[in-house]
Chains A and B, each alone.
Chain A
């Protein structure tokens, strides 16, 4: 039998030989001064950056760094050298891919995903910490049959595992017409083994973004990937030396390899597992990587998984179109007297889906009534807002909106599988009972399609929404007794802590003060703890001794002080999964805000990934701050520096989203009408000088303010 390490070393040599050739050709063709930039990332050639601490901007830089990467290909018969060669193989693979991107920034033309963007890394922050994505699998194909390929991928997908595909399996799942893409968490990375570099780059960027690991700190990367990235590899027979070399790199990072190839394959506990029965791969793999999946059994005829959260239902595939723009729609969660409800009763009022024609647009309402000794009315909106997440996880269902403006689509496949109106009730019931069992004892759900009932019930719901808004409006940082902290992200970003206040939600946008309060009461020892605010230092700019003590303790001594309403002095840190990043714009002495979805440039000359890379990982970076979208219109938004009037530029979509509340806040704070219009966006310019002209034309208030720096 060929020795394991010899296989690793031969495979590494093979990859390096290919990289030698690719690099030489690229340099001859493009010259050493040719720019080398992967698209939409601030961590160019992340493998090189992580391992060698090198920032690569030109082919010449790559050539120089590659020489150093060669020294990683060491061949002493020790695991240390096998690991080093395996990681070197990743650098060689990244070199091959980088040369491809140097020639063409879009080499795969949509056929394969190739390089993953920083925004995609950040998008996974929240689902990773909430365990909605319990892990990642890299499947290196082809599977023995197309059916088996699809079965495996779907098996992972329904368990919420994020799937990366490499090689032959991609064509297999394509042939079976399977829907894939980043949004459904199945990514066809590329046809060849060396496209593995994109996956590894993705992982190392997560370590730099969320873990604040410094480039070049190999031991820290190793520890981060081993303990925090729950990834593993499934490699179908035949596993060549080249794949074994990549496997060594994966194992070095802590990712076990499961294969059905026995030839010259060596078992290594929890690292290389030979499982001949590919039907057992999922269970074998999850146990090998110690991934435990919380399963909620829901009695519906289609799959239920967080992987389907981003699934899109196109018009052509639509069976039922619940359209809140034209018909009455609403969702409501309310507390009821225990005696008045029957647990698990699901009632449908009106026609079921099979009584509507294919493609019908209809109205729709769903009311969940809950009871429980510890239930509080403040929890109702928290639960209700999660209906979106619950219903979106159903395979074949698209859900957007909340309260009484909904758009829900049921696709034909789900309908044909037997999905009907009351199944929405089943999902809401099952999820409420599993997620909130600490406070909910009983729950009954009413699903409505009858237009008359919808009209009256929607009106009744509206009264409840209004009452809640009144309550929300009265919730200010001053009016509440306590704040909460949130350390949910610490599984990825060990020293970050959010302080959540009524006027400043968590920077991921997912945790409001009410959410944090509910989380605390549902699990008193959980990730959200009460933070008192008795010892005021400066309430105006947001400094409390109690808050600082909490931050010091929760950040394990990494942070001593935060100023909640400032971005200049001890600003709140970020984990990396923030919705928006704002940064100082020096010409206007204002700030530019950009959201994760925005792809283009900003007047700072930096894109979202570049700005985002300035902060994160629980590190304080004055002048840059991550935050949630809803925070923009808060009166506490950089209050210490003058408030929202500092905002000089935002992408148009973001402006439209925050406009009503931002205008209202500006009116109240500064007496300015239509403030949002004074803010520049990409349709105006992404050039700082042009922006300055625009601000003058608009009479933007920032021009009258004291300089920031």
Chain B
């Protein structure tokens, strides 16, 4: 049998982190672990979502002795408002990110620097929105698509255009339950308004709006962000990449791109490929320029350029602690302010680029759509600056952990279909190309038990990446296919679970599917904004199956979530009819009604809800049981 190379264990990853933490100690600088210790015990009222500081009468905290806030709001209202605000903030994040992309699309031109890389997707989007394409200049069409897209944020009437991509049953549910989102910004504003002092105190209504504002993200901002990003920078295809800190190079200029919005990093990648800057790097004694990614910017860049991935959320400090980073360039979201201090221990230059994300200690070089024309030159300037910084690296302080794993990434929905085409038979009538039918047949027959979307962040409340990896391993061993995005995807890549030969860890069913189709058992679908791709994936499967999404043996799982974006995501996934399994409790525990509403109440609205369990092993067992229940209902 062919030899299978080793997978990276969680213990090996933790040993790398421990070594880097030691370096931090020597430098007398703290990392998140120490800050977490310093924060203990964390505020119980905050944790339970029952500390209200929405108005200046407060803060009010709910206790058995004081069951109401000064205004009379009870625990349910306080926890519910807090929960909705989180969802609204998350939705605002993805959607504002999408807005920036839409503005970039609006600034595209034939001469660049931002151009159209996927014209077919642009034209498809235009046609979907009834925009004339015949005989028109591509960029004219692009600008109109951008404008129509931008109108989705603030249009005064109607609901979002993308909703009609869903199954008919879903659209009906959304309409009947009055959770179909209107303009994106409106849903965010409405959420803030509803939760303001003296407004909604009914937890049920707050949860319903959480679903709606979540949908404004998943079936609005996120979906647009993904589509427009594909149009601008190309729809991802299958690529080979490498993951974990070992991708930093001892003898090259290391530049980290970190954050979520790829328009800045795209320019940096292009700039680093220019011959003159590469020559310049060599002149400065480096063997080349090594751009590597962190967080979701890594996910975006890897599936479009094969840019290697240094790590996920909780590795951002580790990357700097290697002492081998000439420059860290960040855009938006999930950037530790701690980096502004940590970078002072090294020669590293820390560049912030967005007015959305200003951090003390950083050098601010603004990249916005308004100044899109100069983006490439600015990026090149930064790369040159990083090259110049190479000679300042203190080689005595460099420690790059050796662990890396190869990974095969880049499976947007059309790529999944292309892969499935490979197992159809041209002589069998009921075996069409261009559909999810082969996957459906594999699920119906029981070869695959179902699928799980593994998403979400890292959270110091649990061992970093441990829950992700444990759950993934158990799922694939039980013939459950995984699609992954965000930090979950990176956890899989670092462990080696996105290698083609990771099929050896699978049950016979998933292993056979991986062999026949030629895919890893965990399909990388992109960044956290790309969870909208997963919604289209399940919708496509449901349509080809002729059932509604909520009937499918497919669920979502965010075992280590922490961001408000995750709350928005969880809400749109549930709205889409898909159960979400959480390994971290939402901060509503102080309200029994809220706990009941998010786990059971939403099922009456949209057929799905949360299942919460902090033990990853128990959580994965309940996922498998949930999938089997759905199978039973389908009679398969």
Contacts and interface: CB of A to CB of B under 8 A. Distances in A.
Contact of B516 (A82, A266, A269): A269
Contact of B441 (A80, A219, A267, A280): A267
Nearest to B628: A77
B636 interface: yes
B593 interface: no
Given A267-B431, A268-B441, 16 more contacts: A3-B446, A4-B445, A77-B446, A79-B507, A79-B509, A82-B508, A266-B441, A269-B424, A270-B425, A271-B447, A272-B445, A273-B425, A273-B428, A273-B431, A280-B427, A287-B425
B509 A78 contact: yes
Contacts of A673: none
Interface string A273-309: 1110000100110011000000000000000000000
Given A223-B1, A267-B445, A269-B424, A80 B636 contact: no
A266 B635 CA distance: 13
Contacts of A80: 479, 507-509
Interface of A: 1, 3-5, 77-80, 82-83, 217, 219-220, 223, 226, 252, 266-275, 280, 283-284, 287-288
Interface residues of B, number: 30
B402 interface: no
Given A3-B636, A273-B428, A274-B428, A78 B508 contact: yes
A88 to B, nearest CB: 14
Given A4-B446, A269-B423, A269-B442, A79 B431 contact: no
B508 A83 contact: yes
Contacts of A1: 635
Nearest to B631: A77
B110 interface: no
B428 A79 contact: no
A280 B478 CA distance: 36
Given A1-B635, A266-B445, A268-B445, A79 B427 contact: no
The 6 closest A-B pairs by CB, nearest first: A79-B509, A80-B508, A266-B445, A269-B423, A269-B438, A284-B427
B1 to A, nearest CB: 5
Among A80, A226, A268, A272, which residue has the most Cβ atoms of chain B within 10 A?
A268
10 contacts: A78-B449, A79-B509, A82-B508, A223-B1, A267-B430, A268-B441, A270-B425, A270-B516, A273-B428, A274-B430
B42 interface: no
B426 interface: yes
A270 B447 CA distance: 12
A220 B3 CA distance: 11
Interface string B424-457: 1111101100000010011011110100000000
A268 B447 contact: yes
Contacts of B1: 217, 219-220, 223
Nearest to A217: B1
Contacts of A284: 425, 427-428
A288 B445 contact: no
B384 interface: no
A273 B509 CA distance: 17
Contacts of A273: 425, 428, 431
Contacts of B479: 78-80
A290 B213 CA distance: 49
Interface string B506-535: 011100110110000000000000000000
B480 to A, nearest CB: 11
Contacts of B512: 79, 271
A568 to B, nearest CB: 31
Interface in B249-302: none
A4 B449 CA distance: 13
A77 B420 CA distance: 24
Interface string B409-422: 00000000000100
Given A220-B1, A267-B430, A269-B516, A288 B425 contact: yes
A79 B449 CA distance: 9
B512 to A, nearest CB: 7
B608 to A, nearest CB: 24
Nearest to B515: A226
Nearest to B508: A80
A226 B2 CA distance: 13
Contacts of A252: 508
Contact of A268 (B2, B442, B449, B478): B442
Contacts of B444: 266-267
A4 B425 CA distance: 21
A245 to B, nearest CB: 15
Contacts of A82: 446, 508
Among B426, B446, B509, B515, which residue has the most Cβ atoms of chain A within 10 A?
B446
Interface string B1-36: 110000000000000000000000000000000000
Contact of B426 (A4, A5, A287): A287
Nearest to A268: B445
B427 A275 contact: yes
A83 B511 CA distance: 12
A78 B450 CA distance: 12
Contacts of A5: 446
A215 B445 CA distance: 32
B442 to A, nearest CB: 6
A78 B478 contact: yes
Among B445, B449, B479, which residue has the most Cβ atoms of chain A within 10 A?
B445
Among A78, A219, A269, which residue has the most Cβ atoms of chain B within 10 A?
A269
Contacts of A288: 425
Nearest to B445: A266
A283 B425 CA distance: 10
Contacts of B446: 3-5, 77-79, 82, 266
Contacts of B441: 266-269
Among A5, A80, A283, which residue has the most Cβ atoms of chain B within 10 A?
A80
Interface string B456-500: 000000000000000000000011000000000000000000000
